[in-house]
Chain A
Amino acid sequence: NAGVTQTPKFQVLKTGQSMTLQCAQDMNHNSMYWYRQDPGMGLRLIYYSASEGTTDKGEVPNGYNVSRLNKREFSLRLESAAPSQTSVYFCASIFDKGALNSPLHFGNGTRLTVT
């Protein structure tokens, strides 16, 4: 019963390098989210996918792209990493984006450092 799985757990990049953060859920959820967590700023939504085939910008989308590969997988790509993207990234999912009666299910995060 894996829930939400994120890979990698840790990553160090140099400025200008690219990488993709992977997220997969096995709960048959329709909606998936990418957040970044920075000290003193809480969680901020980067992008979300309300359902397979759709993606939308959140609060802080600049410098990121996403792909909803299928119902299970939602990846986050940094095309040209910058030190300002040093953060902890969380993927989350829920059966339906409007189902506030249900909790968001979070992965354990990816700690990214850009030097």
Chain B
Amino acid sequence: AQSVTQLDSQVPVFEEAPVELRCNYSSSVSVYLFWYVQYPNQGLQLLLKYLSGSTLVKGINGFEAEFNKSQTSFHLRKPSVHISDTAEYFCAVSASGGYQKVTFGTGTKLQVIP
């Protein structure tokens, strides 16, 4: 069985400051990892994904994440946040093929303070 944990339900950060949103997963097999973002009153959009290869993954809007197999983590980072980054961010994991097997985390609300 697979699971994903987002320990921080809310993260406030000042505009132009760096941010890290934490994601840890558990699985007994190789995994595929995703970060999705949800802006207010919208559906989710893919920010970035790790399927294989380089452990540092770059996504849209200046976000990046690093896959750390030994620590079973996939933390999301941005060096300088903007007001428009205010949203809820979901980490997701799949330990086998197919989106029907994807498990979403509980989400982290990023609040960017002017």
Contacts and interface: CB of A to CB of B under 8 A. Distances in A.
Interface of A: 4, 31, 33, 40-45, 48, 50, 56, 58, 90, 92, 94, 97-98, 100-101, 103-109
5 contacts: A31-B99, A41-B106, A50-B100, A94-B99, A109-B42
A107 B32 CA distance: 23
Q: Can you list the 4 inter-chain pairs with the closest CB atoms, starting with the nearest? A: A106-B43, A103-B46, A43-B104, A42-B104
B90 A42 contact: yes
Contacts of B90: 42-43
B45 interface: yes
B7 interface: no
Interface residues of B, number: 22
Which of B46, B51, B97, B99 has the most C-beta atoms of chain A within 10 angstroms of its own C-beta? B99
Contacts of A50: 100
Interface string B81-109: 00000000010001001111010111100
Contacts of A104: 36, 44, 46, 99
Contacts of A40: 9, 106
A98 B97 contact: yes
A110 B46 CA distance: 20
A50 B9 CA distance: 32
A58 B100 CA distance: 7
